[in-house]
Amino acid sequence: VARDIFGRQTRITYIDLCEQLQQVLDIKERTAKSYIRFMRERDIITKETANQSCFVIGSYNLQRNASCP
């Protein structure tokens, strides 16, 4: 799921990630937040080092274009 979402964009805000998970998986907000927690705990997604309000896939560090979409 993370590859699918991040295949379209390299970084995403928490709110946008939550909304996209809800749409893709047809789940409620609470479940989407649990998925995000699960993915963070397993380093499937991490916070971007240049912009802590964005998530990126894995430990991928995108230093160019530090602003979120």
- Dump pLDDT digits (tens) for 35-52: 999 999 999 999 988 888
Residue 18 identity (one-letter amino acid): C
What is the pTM assigned to this prediction? 0.78
Residue 45 identity (one-letter amino acid): I
- Is 80 exceeded by the pLDDT of residue 67? no
Give the whole-angstrom CA distance, residue 14 versus residue 40.
Answer: 11
**Domain range annotation of the chain:** 2-57
- Residue 13 φ/ψ, nearest 5 degrees: -75, 160
Name the band, by pLDDT with cuts 50, 70 and 90, for residue 2: confident
- Is 50 exceeded by the pLDDT of residue 27? yes
Residue 65, pLDDT score: 39
Given 1.10.8, 1.10.4100, 1.20.950, 1.10.10, which CATH number is that of 2-57? Answer: 1.10.10
- DSSP state letters, 7-18: HH-SEEEHHHHH
- DSSP state letters, 48-59: -SS-TTEEEETT
